Amino acid sequence: MTIAREELAAFADGEMPEARAAEVAAAVETDPALAREVEAHRALRARLSGHFAPMLDEPVPDRLAAMLQAGEAPPQAEVADLAAARERRRERRAVPRWGWVVGPALAASLALVVFLPRGEEDPAYAGASLAAALDSTLVAEQAPDADTRILLSFRDAQGEFCRAFSRTQGSGIACRDEQGWRIEAQGEGSAGAQSEYRMAGADEASILARAQEMAQGPALDAEAEAAARAAGWR
């Protein structure tokens, strides 16, 4: 039988209905832990009674007796609105706590707007014109004199579609991820500086050799390439 602490206190004080008191008494008799709790409560009650009982025998102060005889109500203490006070404390804490975070973040965002060149493209990904060619051009349908020629398409070890290309700025390989066509290898070309993903002096033969190393399986045939384009290269 489960007995709450409140019930044990009521039982120890003799303030429990008889039926329930009998059940609790039976449980206390068989459970030493419950018996100790009841005894501890009774001992505490006895100490408090011994401490406060003498105050009941003291006379009422003259000022309070005069107020009661005159029918005056005792002065009411000012009642504080605890909910409003808690809300004011929360508001005071919220401003400094977030201010030091929001302030620098806002300043940093403004600095980015002011100092970053407008429309600058991520050099690790194909620009708009190259991306458009990689998205839409099929090897079997492209013009021989196109500005961007697709050499072949394949899947790499991660299952991403990759395409080797050749253009005036140099040959390269780009693989499609969630952000766009990520440049995996690229020749320096006539206007390109060497970087960590560029292959200085790479020509079409070098790019095709690199594509062969990256490919997981053979290059896509015309049908597979058309299906990949229709699926958005995903």
> CA-based angle 191:195:200, to the nearest 5?
65
d(CA 31, CA 134): 82
Helix (H) or strand (E) holding 166: strand 161-167
Render pLDDT for 94-115 as a digit per residue (tens, 0 to 9).
Answer: 444 434 334 444 444 444 444 4
178: DSSP letter: S
What confidence score (pLDDT) does residue 67 get? 67
Render pLDDT for 203-216 as a digit per residue (tens, 0 to 9).
Answer: 778 888 888 899 99
What confidence score (pLDDT) does residue 54 get? 64
What confidence score (pLDDT) does residue 25 get? 92
Render pLDDT for 114-172 as a digit per residue (tens, 0 to 9).
Answer: 444 545 568 899 999 999 999 999 999 888 888 899 999 999 999 999 999 998 878 89
Give Dmax over CA atoms of the chain in angstroms. Answer: 116
Question: Would you call 188 exposed, middle or buried from its count of C-beta atoms within 10 A (0-12, 13-18, 19+)?
Answer: middle
Pairing of strands 181-187, 161-167: unpaired
Question: Would you call 126 exposed, middle or buried from its count of C-beta atoms within 10 A (0-12, 13-18, 19+)?
Answer: buried
Cα distance from N-terminal residue to C-terminal residue, the chain: 64
pLDDT higher than threshold 70 for residue 234: yes
What is the mean predicted confidence (pLDDT) over 14-20? 89
Residue identified by tokens 């100490």 is 47
> pLDDT band at 90, cuts 50/70/90?
low
Q: In what order do the strands lie in the sheet with 172-176?
A: 148-155, 161-167, 172-176, 181-187, 198-199
Find all residues with CB under 8 Å of 225, minimum gap 6, and list them: 138, 139, 140, 153
- The answer to whether 142 and 127 are in contact (CB under 8 A) is no
> pLDDT band at 6, cuts 50/70/90?
confident
In the chain, what percentage of residues exceed pLDDT 90? 32
pTM of structure: 0.46
